[in-house]
Amino acid sequence: MASPNTSIKSATREFAAPRRTYVLVHGAYHGGWCWKEVASILRSKGHVVYTPTLTGLGERSHLIDCRPTLEVMIKDVEQVFFYEELEDVILVGHSFAGSIVSALADRMPERLRHLVYLDAQVLESGQAPLDAVPPSIREKYLQRARDCNSTGHAVPPGDPETFGINDPSLVERVRGLLTPHPFGAYFDKLMLNHPLGNGVSATYVVCTSPLHPNTSHSRNVAKAQPGWDYVELAAGHDAMLTRPSEVARLIEQVS
């Protein structure tokens, strides 16, 4: 029969405190739902994981008529840090959310442990999200907004295949969950008061199968950042949906 001390030690291991805190921020057209599998994997290992949804998207898409700005979206995540009293956070941003990662590093570096840009935009201060994409893609976004049957203040999502999703069942699931992105947020300029990353350690993850055209500029900016790690992942742009186990493992490795 085990001694009382042995039982106590066993229980302590079983209910050990989570090792890390993660905030995972989705990109354009998506919502917190896109991190479901990655978050589940991380939580199963004892981590604390937050997956906020930005105003006007996902389950908050009913607020798109409020015309949320990039600043509103930055505040969406900043408020999670404040009201959940988060410290020592590994902040992950996918695609459009790279701007949110950069903004929060600029404003609250003391709360951050590491930044992860998952195939994300890396803007320089004074740039807007659409400033960093090729002109032909910028025009496609504008045309989609013009063709939209709404009031024209939203950009409809592209097909899931444009995000590197090929599995038919996943394509149908994602098609039903994508929502239009607030038009104005693509033109709001990211203003930083400090150098990019503000001294917080960072990793840029480029999804290589295939390379996403919207992040070509950002990949070059990330490569030029002193001290940043640059990692390749053989997956499409929406790797958190198509390769959740690999994304979760990669995120754990940077911590």
Between CA 231 and CA 190, with CA 194 as vertex, the angle to 5 degrees is: 75
pLDDT band at 151 (very low <50, low <70, confident <90, very high): low
Res 2 pLDDT > 50: no
Residue 12 lies in a domain: no
- Evaluate whether 185 touches 210 at the Cβ level (below 8 Å): no
pLDDT at residue 26 in the model: 98
Average pLDDT, the chain: 90
**DSSP notation for 20-69:** -EEEEE--TT--GGGGHHHHHHHHHTT-EEE----TTSGGGGGGGGG---
In a domain, 1, yes or no: no
What are the helix (H) ranges across the chain?
4-14, 36-44, 70-83, 98-107, 135-147, 168-177, 216-223, 239-242, 244-254
Residue 167 falls within a domain, yes or no? yes
* pLDDT tens, residue by residue, 197-241: 999 999 999 999 999 999 999 999 999 999 999 999 999 999 999
22 close to 51: Cβ distance less than 8 angstroms: no
124: in domain: yes
What's the rounded Cα separation, in Å, for the pair 73 and 76?
5
- Paired tokens of 12: 């302590």
Share of the chain above pLDDT 90, in %: 79
pLDDT in tens, 152-196: 688 899 899 999 999 999 999 999 999 999 988 999 999 999 999
In a domain, 246, yes or no: yes
Label residue 140 by pLDDT band (50, 70, 90): confident
Q: How far apart are CA 95 and CA 212, in angstroms?
A: 10
Q: At residue 109, does pLDDT exceed 80?
A: yes
- Residue 237 counted as domain residue: yes
User: How far apart (Å, rounded) are the C-alpha atoms in residues 129 and 182?
Assistant: 12
- Check if the beta carbon of residue 120 is closer than 8 Å to that of residue 215: yes
Q: Structural domain of residue 214, as residue ranges?
A: 18-254
Number of domains forming the structure of the chain? 1
Residue 111, pLDDT > 50, answer yes
Tell me whether residue 3 is in a domain. no
Catalytic residue among 61, 95, 99, 102: 95
Backbone torsions φ then ψ of 188, nearest 5 degrees? -75, 135
- pLDDT at residue 60 tops 50: yes
Can you tell me the distance from the alpha carbon of 93 to that of 116, in angstroms, rounded to the nearest whole number? 6
CATH number at residue 50: 3.40.50.1820
Give me Rg for the CA atoms of the chain: 19
Q: Is residue 13 part of a domain?
A: no
Point out the least confidently predicted range of 62-76, 78-92, 132-146, 197-211.
132-146
99 carries an active-site annotation: no
Is residue 6 pLDDT above 80, yes or no? no
Task: Return the pLDDT at 139.
Answer: 81
Tell how far CA 204 is from the center of its chain: 12
